[in-house]
Chains A and B, each alone.
Chain A
Amino acid sequence: MTKPLQLFKQLALKDDAFCEGHSLCPGCEEAVTFHTLGRATDNGHKTVMVMGTSCGEVSTLMYPGTVAWGRGATEPEELVKSLGVIHHVFESAPTVAEGVRDAASALEELGAWRAPAPNVLAWSGDGGALSIGLRALLHTIHRRARIAIFVNINEVFANTGFQYSPTSVPYADSSTLPGGGPAEPIDHLGLALTAGAAYVAQASPAFPPFFAEVVSEALACQGTAVVFVPSPCIAGWKFREGLTAELGKLAAQTGLFPMFRKHAGKPGEIKFVAEKARRPTVEGWLAMQQRFEHLCALDAGAPKVKPGREAEVAAIQAYADHQVERLQRWCAA
Chain B
Amino acid sequence: MLTALTATTERRTSPLYGARYEGAFDLEALRAAHRPAYPDGGRVSVDGNTAAAIPFLQWWRAPIAAGFPITPATKWLEHLAAESGSGKFDVEVGGARRRGKRVKLLESEHAAADYITGVASACRELIVGTATSSVGLDHMAESVRSLGASGLGNVVLVNVCRATANYPLCIEGDPSDHLAHRDSGFIQYMSRGKQQIYDALLQLPAVGMHPEVLTPTMPAYYGIKDSHRVGLLDVAPDDAVNAFLEEALRLGRSSRRPQAQDFLDTGAPDPEPPPGLLDGDTAMGNCVSSAFFQGFKVAQKERLQRALEVLPEVAALFERTFGRPGLSLFERHRMDGAKVALVAMGSDAGTALQLLETMERELGARVGLIVLRLLTPFPSEALAEALAGVEAVGVVNNAHHHGRGHLTLDVEDALSERGAAPPVESFFCGMGGADVSTATWMEIARRTVQAARAGRRAARWHLLHDGLDLGRTGR
Which residues of A line the B interface, CB within 8 A?
44, 46, 48, 50, 57-58, 61-64, 67, 69-70, 74-80, 82-89, 92, 95-104, 106-107, 109-116, 118, 135-136, 139, 142
Contacts and interface: CB of A to CB of B under 8 A. Distances in A.
Contact of B285 (A69, A86, A109): A86
A96 B114 contact: yes
Contacts of A104: 122, 278
Given A79-B21, A115-B4, A100 B121 contact: yes
B232 to A, nearest CB: 33
B24 A92 contact: no
B26 A112 contact: yes
Query: Among the interface residues B100, B279, B289, which one has the most CB atoms of the partner chain A within 10 A?
Result: B279
A79 B8 CA distance: 10
A314 B83 CA distance: 60
Contacts of B99: 109
Nearest to B66: A99
B461 interface: no
Interface string B268-292: 0000000111111111111111001
23 contacts: A44-B4, A48-B122, A63-B263, A74-B13, A75-B13, A76-B11, A79-B24, A80-B6, A84-B280, A84-B283, A89-B114, A89-B143, A103-B118, A107-B278, A109-B99, A110-B29, A112-B26, A112-B27, A112-B33, A113-B24, A115-B3, A136-B114, A142-B107
A96 B282 CA distance: 16
Given A79-B6, A99-B121, A113-B24, 18 more contacts: A48-B277, A61-B286, A62-B288, A64-B288, A74-B13, A75-B19, A76-B19, A79-B5, A79-B279, A84-B280, A84-B282, A87-B284, A92-B111, A95-B114, A99-B116, A106-B63, A106-B64, A115-B2
B283 A86 contact: yes
B110 A92 contact: yes
Contacts of A80: 4-6
B104 to A, nearest CB: 7
Contacts of B281: 70, 75-76, 82-84
B4 A116 contact: yes
Instruction: Pick the most buried of A48, A70, A106: most chain B CB atoms within 10 A of its CB.
Output: A106
Contacts of B66: 99
B98 A109 contact: yes
B73 interface: no
B471 to A, nearest CB: 45
A111 B27 CA distance: 9
Contact of B277 (A61, A76, A86): A86
B6 A78 contact: yes
A57 B102 contact: no
Nearest to A139: B107
B108 interface: yes
B242 to A, nearest CB: 15
A139 B106 contact: yes
Nearest to B28: A112
Interface in B79-101: 91, 93-94, 96, 98-100
CB-based closest 7 A-B pairs? A99-B118, A84-B277, A75-B19, A87-B285, A111-B29, A92-B114, A103-B122
Nearest to B27: A112
Contacts of B292: 63-64
A195 B63 CA distance: 28
A100 B114 contact: no
A196 B288 CA distance: 37
A63 B276 CA distance: 19
Contacts of B474: none
A185 B47 CA distance: 50
Nearest to A68: B283
A86 B30 CA distance: 25
Contacts of A103: 64, 118-119, 122-123, 126, 128, 278
A46 B19 CA distance: 13
B40 interface: no
Contacts of A102: 64, 102, 104, 115, 118-119
